[in-house]
Amino acid sequence: MKKIREMQAVGDLIPGAPFEEPERQLLFMDKCRELIEEKAKAAGRPLTAAVINFGCQMNARDAEKLRGILKQIGYEIIEEETADFVLYNTCTVRDNANQKVYGRLGYQKTFKKQNPEMIVALCGCMMQEPEVIEKIKKSYRFVDIIFGTHNVYRLAELLYAHLTSKSMIIDVWKDTDSSVETLPVDRKYTFKSGVNIMYGCNNFCSYCIVPYVRGRERSRTPEEILSECRKLADEGIVEVMLLGQNVNSYGKNLENPISFAQLLREVEKIDGIKRIRFMTSHPKDLSDELIQVMKESKKICRHLHLPLQSGSSRILKIMNRRYDKEKYLALAEKIKREIPDIALTTDIIVGFPGETEEDFEETLDVVRKVRYSSAFTFIYSKRTGTPAAAMEDQIPEEVSKERFGRLLALVQEIAAEECVHLTGQVQQVLVETTSNHEGMVSGRLSNNMVVHFPGAEDQIGNFVNVRLDEAKGFYYIGTQVES
Ligand code: SAH
Ligand code: SF4
Ligand code: F3S
């Protein structure tokens, strides 16, 4: 039977290997590369790797780092789950995210029977939960490598440990105060990129597992962030998305504190960067300074994602969101008054423990008043270890589902009405992909809405002016016009 090795017990795999990063990982990448080259020679073809990603923008960014490392090691990156190395970067924010991963692992077992040399690895938020690790050790013994959210940069070292021992390698850290951002990255797009400005979360909303699996809030220094943005601009990136679970509290705990708004002002000064986006903005910390900076900026996109979660002040209090309905509405109104062309989007949870019909009506009321241009709506999912999981009065599934249906219908109706406002206008679009329809390309407006219009692949990454001919509810069909 396959041995299990917890990384702490593996010791120094290569005597004399440097302890500093990134030097240490660069050495392990070279060592892995030699082993993978040998295997490729024996197989008579290049070896392939796939990183299957679940979850939020943070995970998407981590996936780019993981692919970067695998590419450096000599793998050809593909998307199919039949690759020689398959890595699942997991999410655990709601139970259905976990179920998807277990479903995929079920298939992996068969693939691995067909290709015994195949390596299956798991990382990301789900792996930070001890009961998940226990389940995998017990029921998914074919998994080769497991690591968490705090040590993604160690992939090469863990792979080396597996290749040289054939054991199941487990390396999950409870928390960390460091991060390594200087390893190779395989970016999905050549023209836009996410940039982590902070990690973790300190808010402990009572339903949410993120603070437990991503650790405490840590901001990167502005120097590091700006130098990364400048490097991206030099490489041709025109749009950056600044990432954090609560970007509005960025910089507060740094040795030299700086506000998120001040950071935005600095990013704005970088020549090559033409568009700046950010995610996610917690309403409790959104400052007037931020609204001012957005208003004056030529580069910050006309889009603000402002998660509501619930419209009921009573529920918001139990959720530990630290704002109430009135405060949220006043904030949304102020933002719209100051920046009239802004599109507001949100996240809403229905069926939080104890939610009554009246509470739910309050949520609908906020949706009617704020008029979001889109909203992510979720049925509350009980997460082990969070305060809400232990609350009485969990809402029956049929009640949540019925409310969810009503909420979704309202959100879609309002989004479609909001979408119509821009019809006929000419707007600048950053072309992102070819569309599913022959001869069409797709891009985004500053307000994050998607537009499809006749165009060619060589326009990807360019800004073009597009007339929005037809509103289709949550996207537009347009025509390019001369600039
Ligand atoms: N940091 C972000 C949210 C990250 S999680 C913020 O505070 O806005 C993304 C979304 O998942 C949340 O906004 C919330 O709507 C949803 N979510 C989180 N935990 C959930 C749970 N237990 N059940 C259902 N939805 C949840
Ligand atoms: Fe979760 Fe709240 Fe933190 Fe967002 S702010 S990640 S919802 S705990
Ligand atoms: Fe999911 Fe982790 Fe993001 S739990 S939502 S991938 S921070």
Q: Structure tokens of 378?
A: 């979720």
Please indicate whether residue 58, judged by its CB atom, sits closer than 6 Å to ligand 3: yes
Mutate to test the pocket of ligand 3, among 213, 245, 280, 383 (most ligand atoms within 8 A of CB): 213
CA–centroid distance, residue 415 to ligand 3 (Å): 26
Which residues have any ligand 2 atom within 6 Å of their CB? 201, 203-205, 208, 210-211, 245-246, 282
- Secondary structure percentages of the chain, helix, strand, coil, to 5: 40, 20, 40
Nearest ligand by distance to the CA of 310: 1
Among 205, 217, 321, 376, the mutation site with the greatest number of ligand 2 atoms within 8 A of its Cβ is 205
CB neighbour list of residue 226: distance below 8 Å, 6 or more residues apart: 266, 267, 270
Residue-by-residue pLDDT tens, the chain, 483 positions: 678 877 754 567 888 889 899 999 999 999 999 999 999 999 999 999 999 999 999 999 999 999 999 999 999 999 999 999 999 999 999 999 999 999 999 999 889 989 989 999 999 999 999 999 999 999 999 999 999 999 999 999 999 999 999 999 999 999 887 788 888 899 999 999 999 999 999 999 999 999 999 999 999 999 999 999 999 999 999 999 999 999 999 999 999 999 999 999 999 999 999 999 999 999 999 999 999 999 999 999 999 999 999 999 999 999 999 999 999 999 999 999 999 999 999 999 999 999 999 999 999 999 999 999 999 999 999 999 999 999 999 999 999 999 999 999 999 999 999 999 999 999 999 999 999 888 999 999 999 999 999 999 999 999 999 999 999 988 999 999 986
Q: Determine if ligand 3 sits within 6 Å of the CB of residue 210.
A: yes
Cis peptide before 15 (omega within 30 of 0): no
Strands across the sheet containing 85-90 = 4-6, 168-171, 145-147, 119-124, 85-90, 48-53, 76-77
Paired tokens of 374: 């889109």
- Taking the CA of 53 as reference, the closest ligand is 3
Q: How far apart are CA 142 and CA 123, in angstroms?
A: 15
Cα–ligand 3 centroid distance for 158 (angstroms): 22
| Contact predicate 39/47, CB 8 Å | yes
Q: Which residue, chain included where needed, has tokens 């995929």? A: 104
Cα 113 to ligand 3 centre (Å): 31
Tokens 């509103």 correspond to what residue?
471
pTM reported for the whole predicted model: 0.95
Q: How far apart are CA 81 and CA 187, in angstroms?
A: 19
User: Which residues partner with 50 through β-bridges?
Assistant: 86
Atom of ligand 1 nearest to the CA of 201: 1
78 CB less than 6 Å from ligand 3?
no
Residues 6+ apart with CB under 8 A from 345: 303, 304, 305, 306, 372, 373, 374, 375, 376, 448
Q: Which atom of ligand 1 is nearest to the CA of 388?
A: 22
63 CB under 6 A from ligand 3?
no
66 CB neighbour count, 10 Å cutoff: 26
Is the CB–ligand 3 distance for residue 125 below 6 Å?
yes
Q: What are phi and psi of 49, to 5 degrees?
A: -140, 145
CB-CB contact of 430 with 191 (8 Å):
yes
Ligand 2 geometric centre to CA of 280 (Å): 9
Report whether residue 126 contacts ligand 3, using a CB cutoff of 6 Å.
no
Q: Which residues of 315-343 are buried (b: 16+ CB within 10 A; e: fewer)?
A: bbebbebebbbeebbebbeebbeebeebb
Closest residue (by CA) to atom 1 of ligand 2?
208
* Residue 55 zone, left/alpha/beta (φ > 0; ψ -120 to 50; rest): left
Q: Compute the distance between CA of residue 143 and CA of residue 141 in angstroms, rounded to an integer.
A: 5
Token pair of 240 as six digits: 């950056």
79 within 8 A of 50, measured Cβ to Cβ: yes
Q: How many Å apart are CA 431 and CA 458, to the nearest integer?
A: 10
Bridge partners of 108, per DSSP, are none
Q: Write the DSSP symbol of residue 241.
A: E
